[in-house]
Amino acid sequence: MNRDSEVFKDLESILIDEATLQQRIQELGQQIGQDYKGKLPVVIGILKGSSIFLADLVKAIPIHLTLDFMGISSYGGGTHSTGVVKITKDLEETIEGRHVIIAEDIIDTGLTLNYLLKTLKQRNPASLTICTLLNKQARRILEVEDVGYKGFEIDDHFVVGYGLDYMQKFRNLPCIGVLKPSVYQKF
């Protein structure tokens, strides 16, 4: 989509443009490829936010891998974490003995991933790491261990795009942006 689209027009600013995202994702993919050579990792996408990132990430990883998905929800549709994490869709394959890479869109308070890590470690994977596109370190309530790969550090903004939503919209933006304040009244 181009910048005249109605989706772009709701943005106050673009924080990370498409080219910068793609460049960094290529680097992450190369790095993961080197680190997991000969290991057949399973890359787990956390729905729905990480789906767009995951699609580009796995295309940048130059080794064999498998894919699985998990659905969890931590936000009630607004802009603040409730701390309540619910599994809405579980994995289809067992991860016992597998090298697991969780692809996450953003780590904010850390509540969601702490819950998820605890759950997945009980299933005895050979290893477990997180690859997050964005990290908001300033907002951390619970520190998250095992973050092997980080795309970008960002300040404390509520961001949308590239899989991240506001009221389920804006996931289809090809960049990461900040919304105009008027959008919060509109939707």
Run of H or E including 58: helix 51-60
Q: Is the bond preceding 48 in cis, omega lying within 30 degrees of 0?
A: yes
- Residue 168 near residue 77 (C-beta atoms within 8 A): yes
Q: How far is the CB of 50 from ligand 5GP (least distance, A)?
A: 7
- Identify which of residues 8 and 75 has a Cβ nearer to ligand 5GP in the complex: 75
- Identify which of residues 35 and 137 has a Cβ nearer to ligand 5GP in the complex: 137
Q: How far is the CB of 97 from ligand 5GP (least distance, A)?
A: 27
Integer Rg of the chain from CA: 16
Stretch that binds ligand 5GP, among 11-19, 21-29, 119-127, 163-171 (CB under 6 A): 163-171
Dist CA 64 CA 128 (whole Å): 17
By CB under 6 A, name the one of 29, 41, 45, 49 that touches ligand 5GP.
49
By CB under 6 A, name the one of 51, 81, 119, 127 that touches ligand 5GP.
81
Scan residues 87-146 and list those touching ligand 5GP (CB under 6 A).
Answer: 104-112
By CB under 6 A, name the one of 47, 158, 169, 174 that touches ligand 5GP.
158
Q: Is 147 helix (H, G, I), strand (E, B) or coil?
A: strand
Residue 59 identity: K
CA distance readout (Å), 51 to 106, 110, 148: 12, 19, 19
Q: Is 98 helix (H, G, I), strand (E, B) or coil?
A: coil
By CB under 6 A, name the one of 39, 165, 169, 174 that touches ligand 5GP.
165
Q: Is 56 in the site for ligand 5GP (CB under 6 A)?
A: no
Is 146 tagged catalytic? no
Catalytic choice (108, 146, 156, 165): 108
What is the distance in angstroms between the CA of the first residue and the CA of the last residue of the chain? 21
Stretch that binds ligand 5GP, among 9-17, 28-36, 63-71, 164-172 (CB under 6 A): 164-172
Dist CA 97 CA 75 (whole Å): 31
Q: List, by residue number, the catalytic residues.
A: 108
Residues that bind ligand 5GP (CB under 6 A): 49, 74-75, 81, 104-112, 158-160, 164-166
